[in-house]
Amino acid sequence: MNVPELVGTARTLLAGDKGLLAMDESTGTCNRRFAPLGIPQTEEARRTYRELIVTTPGLSESISGAILYDETIRQRTKDGIPFATALRDSGIIPGIKVDTGAKNMAGHPGEKITEGLDGLRERLGQYTQLGARFTKWRAVIAIGDGIPSRGCIEANAQALARYAALSQEAGLVPVVEAEVLMDGGHSLKRCFEVTEEVLRTVFNQLYVQRVTLEAMILKPNMVLPGLASLTQEPVDRVTDATVRCLMRTVPAAVPGIAFLSGGQSGELASARLQAMSVYSQSALPWDLTFSFSRALQQPALEIWHGDEKHRQAAQAALVHRARCNRAARRGEYDSRMERQ
């Protein structure tokens, strides 16, 4: 394991005011996003859409790294250029989602365990050959009646830590994603408690599994009330709760935290990131950035709608959301940017 090289990659991913683009939706998730728009759920439609993303002019001004999926990292542009190469040539570091999905957890109704450790060492070798420089593994924790259970949190934290150790062994920076879901009617306080417990457990397991904290990126949820909660909190309460929770749980050795969007609208995600950036200018130990999928891609996907004649307009929408989040990282986002 070449620690200085790993640390260098992590720092490049976090540098300046850029963030990560998650375009690693599994085939099932991508099809579920296509379905309501009437886009054919075919490999060629997914390829065409991902080609639109990786060939978007100017994307690298705001995006340092893009996370691909197993199908996508093997695909090429219509001119025959592998997507990972197209990204690299445009100045974006290619990454890859390496878990094989969150499955129902035995003995734990309503809870999921993320799988994919079997054969992971070999797959990481392949992904390196295909051009990946960093990886992602996503654990999902649901909040509900009597859940999450200790069993679910511990099993997911251990899997995350074992994945992160294997990834660093392979020379790939792990993006450790622990997502407390927004589904449900829970309060901000409940999300805070669960996120705190999850992150404490994850960092304990990362220590036990000998993961180098300086050579990883944490990808957490923001601390938010559930989508069905009647009390939707103002931006400053969300910012305050999120930063307090991270201060309690994330060691200062971790170079950066890249938030997932989790189903927030693009504008709300930017506004909350903006407030967090302003807060962080008063000395937080880690860089704060974004690693959004829906909050970056959704407007572009809706404009494209499966029709190549909307390609340029869709690319413009993607660049716009990326620029808004870049501005948010600098603390310069303003909702008036949305009307420009």
Number of Cβ atoms within 10 Å of the Cβ of 95: 33
**Closer to ligand 13P by Cβ: residue 201 or 293:** 293
Distance of closest approach, residue 3 Cβ to ligand 13P, in angstroms: 26
Q: Is 267 a catalytic residue?
A: no
Distance of closest approach, residue 1 Cβ to ligand 13P, in angstroms: 25
Q: Per the structure block, which two tokens stand in for 99? A: 């878990």
- Percent helix / strand / coil, the chain, rounded to 5: 50, 15, 35
Distance of closest approach, residue 68 Cβ to ligand 13P, in angstroms: 11
Beta strands in 16-111 (DSSP E): 19-22, 63-68, 93-97, 102-104
Distance of closest approach, residue 80 Cβ to ligand 13P, in angstroms: 28
Residues 329, 298: Cα–Cα separation, whole Å? 20
**Closer to ligand 13P by Cβ: residue 9 or 293:** 293
Which residue shows structure tokens 């950066």?
256
What phi and psi values does residue 230 have, to the nearest 5 degrees?
A: -75, -20
**Closer to ligand 13P by Cβ: residue 81 or 105:** 105
Residues that bind ligand 13P (CB under 6 A): 22, 138, 177, 260-262, 292-295
Burial class (CB in 10 A: 0-12, 13-18, 19+), 312: middle
Contacts of 34 (CB under 8 A, 6+ apart): 40, 41, 45, 46, 49, 306
List 219, 302, 308, 338, catalytic entry: 219
Under 8 Å between Cβ of 250 and 257: yes
Distance of closest approach, residue 224 Cβ to ligand 13P, in angstroms: 12
Distance of closest approach, residue 14 Cβ to ligand 13P, in angstroms: 16
**Closer to ligand 13P by Cβ: residue 55 or 325:** 325
CA-CA distances (angstroms) from residue 265 to 145, 158, 197, 329?
26, 31, 26, 17
**Closer to ligand 13P by Cβ: residue 56 or 261:** 261
**Closer to ligand 13P by Cβ: residue 32 or 210:** 32
- Of 34, 49, 36, residue with least CA distance to 318: 49
List 25, 111, 177, 179, catalytic entry: 177
Under 8 Å between Cβ of 133 and 94: yes
Q: Is 219 a catalytic residue?
A: yes
The residues that are catalytic are 177, 219
